Amino acid sequence: MAPDLSVKLGALTLPNPLIAASGCFGYGVEYEQVVDLSLLGGVVSKGLFMKERQGHPPPRIVETPAGMINAIGLQGIGVHRFVKEKLPLLRKAGARTFVNVCGTTLDEYVEVTKVLSQAEGVAAIELNISCPNIKEGGIQFGCSLNGTFDVVSAVRKATHLPVIPKLTPNVTDVASFARASEEAGADAVSLVNTFLAMAIDVETRRPKISNVMGGLSGPAIRPIAVRMVWECYQLVKIPIIGMGGITDARDAIEYMLAGATAVQIGTQNFVDPFVWSKVLDGITDYLTRHKIEKLSELIGAFDPTPTKTVHA
């Protein structure tokens, strides 16, 4: 019998733990031509404000060792156009749609959430309190424990939908932010957003992206993000969605062992838009090989006992 890949994020049951990360999958509908969206555990939309945003001028990305820095600047169509133009298509495709909600003020987070709560076909709210690339909003909440608590509480009161704050790694102790989120009523937390970074063209002495600084993602950040998931897992009881540099099934399983209930894939989807079925097959192989019936048994099953060094 095929192993059971389903996982529970609070009241939500996903058929598998693989979720497309915000900002890395357009509005989801772009990928319908290459992926059956209903086969994914979920799809997170691009970050949405009340209004449309143009984002930063190009160049917006630069490749760095085993990763990339981006400063897109949350270009987006705004929540109303999303509900009207994209959500019906996502519903039709059978996607479990998580919407990444942004705000420049606490009120805007609440307003965007209210619009989404009245729409049909939203599975959960992912609160973007961690984008490193915009001046106002986002990270000003995500870098303050009180700010995190306040915005999560306010959104929690405004919706029946699951609320999942997305945490920034650009803090000293990310686990305390997971705990503040839990205390404010979050149903789960997702981590990590990108690491604030920059790259200089030494020939011209100019920045490689127009915004000068941006967010680092990709395999380069994976060990740091795995550590952060493990720290959060030890401190909070709510489910954790782990992400950062997942490229294959082993990487996804590593996050789950560290305590993630589900995982998001972002940068690797740029590298390989067919990554989803490969990771799902790889997870099934792993479970079969280890004679595990339910994937959820792996959540937090990391054994921190040091192994004796074996020289292979």
Residues known to be catalytic: 131
> Is 29 or 236 the residue whose CB approaches other proteins more closely?
29
Give, rounded to a whole angstrom, the gap between the first and last alpha carbons of the chain.
34
Q: Least distance in Å: CB of 152 to other proteins?
A: 27
Fill in the amino acid letter for 193.
N
Residue selected from 42, 67, 165, 244 as contacting other proteins according to rule CB under 8 A: 67
From CA 154, how far away is CA 232, in angstroms rounded?
A: 22
Residue selected from 4, 8, 39, 55 as contacting other proteins according to rule CB under 8 A: 55
Fill in the amino acid letter for 74.
L
Say whether residue 222 binds other proteins (CB under 8 A).
no
Say whether residue 85 binds other proteins (CB under 8 A).
no
Residue selected from 6, 144, 270, 292 as contacting other proteins according to rule CB under 8 A: 270
Say whether residue 94 binds other proteins (CB under 8 A).
no
> Is 215 or 239 the residue whose CB approaches other proteins more closely?
215
Q: How many CB atoms lie within 10 A of CB 177?
A: 31
According to DSSP, the residues that pair with 124 across neighbouring strands are: 98
Residue selected from 193, 267, 279, 299 as contacting other proteins according to rule CB under 8 A: 267
Fill in the amino acid letter for 237.
K
> One symbol per residue from 111 to 150: x for binding other proteins (CB under 8 A), - otherwise; what is it?
----------------------------------------
Q: Are strands 7-9 and 12-14 parallel, antiparallel or unpaired?
A: antiparallel
Candidates 14, 69, 79; CA nearest to 45 is: 79
Q: Which contiguous run of DSSP H or E holds residue 217? A: strand 213-217
> Is 63 or 293 the residue whose CB approaches other proteins more closely?
63
Q: Are strands 122-128 and 213-217 parallel, antiparallel or unpaired?
A: unpaired
Count the site residues for other proteins by CB under 8 A. Answer: 34
Say whether residue 72 binds other proteins (CB under 8 A).
yes
Fill in the amino acid letter for 120.
E
Candidates 127, 115, 104, 141; CA nearest to 22 is: 127
Which parts of this chain interact with other proteins (CB under 8 A)?
A: 23-26, 30-31, 33-34, 46, 54-55, 57-63, 65-68, 70, 72, 75, 218-219, 267, 269-274
